[in-house]
Chains A and B, each alone.
Chain A
Amino acid sequence: MKIGRAEVEHVARLARLALDEEELDALTAQMDAILGYVDQLGNLNTEGIVPTAHAVPMENAFRPDEVLVGLGEEKALQNAPAAEGPCFRVPKVIE
């Protein structure tokens, strides 16, 4: 077994996903199979190989530090599930 049910539950919490029992069972089996498959990468010797984050080599992309026009309050809030004044409204965080 590459991964067990308890570990899948832990990962679901990290990923902020409230999964039900059925989903957790299915994912345990599927992730186990997929992780078993990707294990073949271990057959390759990658000592001294530099990891690739981006395929096209690039330096930092700089631009002048200038203020640009943003979306504005109205547009920024137009898709908000809940808003109040110029703010996004969220459930209470602090008791």
Chain B
Amino acid sequence: MSLTDLTIHELHERLVRREVSSVEATRAYLERIAAVDERINAFITVDAEGALRQAEAADRRLAAGKGGALTGIPLALKDIFVTEGVRTTCASKILQNFIPPYDGAAAARLKEAGAVLLGKLNMDEFAMGSSNENSAFGAVKNPWNLQCVPGGSSGGSAAAVAARQAAATLGTDTGGSIRQPAAHCGVVGLKPTYGRVSRYGVIAYASSLDQVGPMTRDVEDCALLLQAVAGHDPADSTSVDTPVPDYRAALGGDLKGVRVGLPREYFIEGLDSDVKEAVMGAITVCRELGAEIVEVSLPHTEYAVACYYLVATAEASSNLARYDGVRYGLRVDEGKGLLDMYMKSRAAGFGAEVKRRIMLGTYALSSGYYDAYYLKAQKVRTLIRRDFLEAFEKADVLLTPVAPTTAFGLGEKTADPLQMYLSDIFTIPVNLAGSCALSLPCGFTPSGLPVGLQLVGRPFGEETILRTAHAYEQATDWHRRVAPI
């Protein structure tokens, strides 16, 4: 067994017993990246020098007996997290040379914990996409099948975990961008409750929906990584000041007394038969583990995608106004004045999907359309949120598919933006509701592509979904399968 096959908690055991050093583990990952990333394209930037320096520091800390759960563990971050001195591009041409002058909350907390940061991961430009094909640095390939997409927008974060290029990674999720790629790449991904993790230093897409979360090999790692990044941050005024529980302590035991709700609107026609079969199998396992299965209804589900593409694009059009070629980023100046410089810099720097969303959002917020589009969407959002709160009166956890299909082929959906948007139908409602949800492997298609199971929890109900996921995972062995790369 190679060092790169170990989970965070397995590697931690060996590090604290000094059977292996962080430098050795870090070198193993850097070699693995060098060996496979030409085929996967998960990394935009590899910081070998910085990683080895951090590993040496971690080894000193471990030798002094002061290592925590993440000390010396090689991790990687989606290239949306600003990292001091390490180029941060958001997979956009407009930021292709941006070197942040500070660390965001995620990088700062991981460094404080003594983690090793291997580099920055590929993604859909500005986190806009469901296939990781909208990157200025090229598409990411799915480690289970190189002809398929890894999902998006945290496609590099998911692929790197599946291809053993990092022990675990962080992604962000605005409409499914952690859970959908986690499902397509056969890894665990958690979108915490809005406000649970600081967004300070996360390049903004849609501020009322964006949330940071872990992508890992198993549920225990997911709990450990969440623990490291969760909690209030005065630098993010929307982060919530409620105590952070001990997530790992929540794991263990069966599902006796847990009410697992099946939203009837999620088991519909159009759901791929392989996905349906795997999810049905998972329901059986949960029942055998003692869960009580109940049917619930989320009646406004069919409106979620439409609602999302107004709310998210409106927020994006506002957030992305900052890219004007003045303070940082690409500038195209043809000597025709300030307005011309703004318009040409933005036109040259943004890719097609980003332009499309800025245009939609600008339209939805523009004079005469605000009430009909943006305000209407915010009211529908209230109805969607209510659906979840009502469902959680009958159930402790909701169990659903993550996506209607498994990973689709590269190029298959790029011609039709609307079809691409609809692939997020089961993940988007959770962001609108602000709740938490986790994706974990629950099966494979006959051709070997992973299927994901989504467990949705109440706001700040991370412990319950982690415990449910852990019980399911311990009863199955999907998470032990390794991508054939």
Enumerate chain A interface residues (CB-CB to B < 8 A): 3, 7-8, 11-20, 23, 27, 30-31, 33-35, 37-42, 44, 46, 49-56, 58, 61, 63, 71, 75-76, 78-82, 88, 90-93
Q: Which of B117-125, B212-220, B322-330, B437-445 contacts A (4 or more CB under 8 A)?
A: B322-330
Q: Does B360 count as interface, using CB distance less than 8 angstroms?
A: yes
A90 in contact with B102 (CB, 8 Å) = no
Known A19-B355, A27-B359; contact A79-B378, beta-carbon cutoff 8 A: no
Q: Which residues of B contact A37 (CB under 8 A)?
A: 305-306, 418
Q: Which residues of A contact B324 (CB under 8 A)?
A: 16
Total number of B residues with any Cβ neighbor in A under 8 Å: 73
What is the bound-complex CA distance between A61 and B239, given in angstroms?
Answer: 9
**Interface contact tally, CB-CB below 8 A:** 173
B328, closest chain A residue (CB)? A79
Neighbour of A17 across the interface among B238, B310, B355, B363, CB < 8 A: B355
Q: Does B291 count as interface, using CB distance less than 8 angstroms?
A: no
Which of A37, A50, A56, A71 has the most B CB atoms < 10 Å from its CB?
Answer: A56
A71, closest chain B residue (CB)? B101
Which of A16, A44, A75 has the most B CB atoms < 10 Å from its CB?
Answer: A16
Contact indicator per residue, chain B 373-405, by CB within 8 Å of chain A (1) or not (0): 101111111110100000000000000000000
Contact indicator per residue, chain B 295-330, by CB within 8 Å of chain A (1) or not (0): 000001011011101100000010001001111111
- 21 A-B Cβ contacts within 8 A? A12-B359, A16-B346, A17-B343, A17-B347, A17-B355, A18-B340, A19-B355, A23-B355, A38-B309, A41-B303, A41-B310, A46-B380, A49-B379, A50-B382, A51-B378, A52-B382, A61-B237, A80-B327, A81-B326, A82-B331, A93-B337
Contact indicator per residue, chain B 100-118, by CB within 8 Å of chain A (1) or not (0): 0110000000000000000
Q: Which residues of B contact A56 (CB under 8 A)?
A: 193-195, 238, 240, 434, 459
Neighbour of A30 across the interface among B102, B238, B417, CB < 8 A: B417
What is the bound-complex CA distance between A41 and B375, given in angstroms?
Answer: 11
What is the bound-complex CA distance between A88 and B328, given in angstroms?
Answer: 10
- Contacting A at CB under 8 A, from B424-445, are 432-435
What is the bound-complex CA distance between A61 and B232, given in angstroms?
Answer: 12
Neighbour of B303 across the interface among A40, A51, A80, CB < 8 A: A40
Min C-beta distance of A9 to chain B, whole Å: 11
Neighbour of B434 across the interface among A27, A55, A76, CB < 8 A: A55
What is the bound-complex CA distance between A75 and B99, given in angstroms?
Answer: 10
Q: Does B446 count as interface, using CB distance less than 8 angstroms?
A: no
Q: Which residues of A contact B325 (CB under 8 A)?
A: 81
A19 in contact with B306 (CB, 8 Å) = no
Q: Does B335 count as interface, using CB distance less than 8 angstroms?
A: yes
Closest 7 CB pairs of A and B: A55-B434, A51-B378, A79-B328, A81-B331, A75-B101, A18-B343, A46-B379
Q: Which residues of B contact A27 (CB under 8 A)?
A: 355-356, 359
A51 in contact with B101 (CB, 8 Å) = no
A78, closest chain B residue (CB)? B101
B194 in contact with A55 (CB, 8 Å) = yes
B381 in contact with A51 (CB, 8 Å) = yes
What is the bound-complex CA distance between A12 and B341, given in angstroms?
Answer: 14
Known A19-B347, A44-B303; contact A11-B359, beta-carbon cutoff 8 A: yes
Known A15-B359, A88-B327; contact A42-B344, beta-carbon cutoff 8 A: no
Q: Which residues of A contact B362 (CB under 8 A)?
A: 11, 14-15
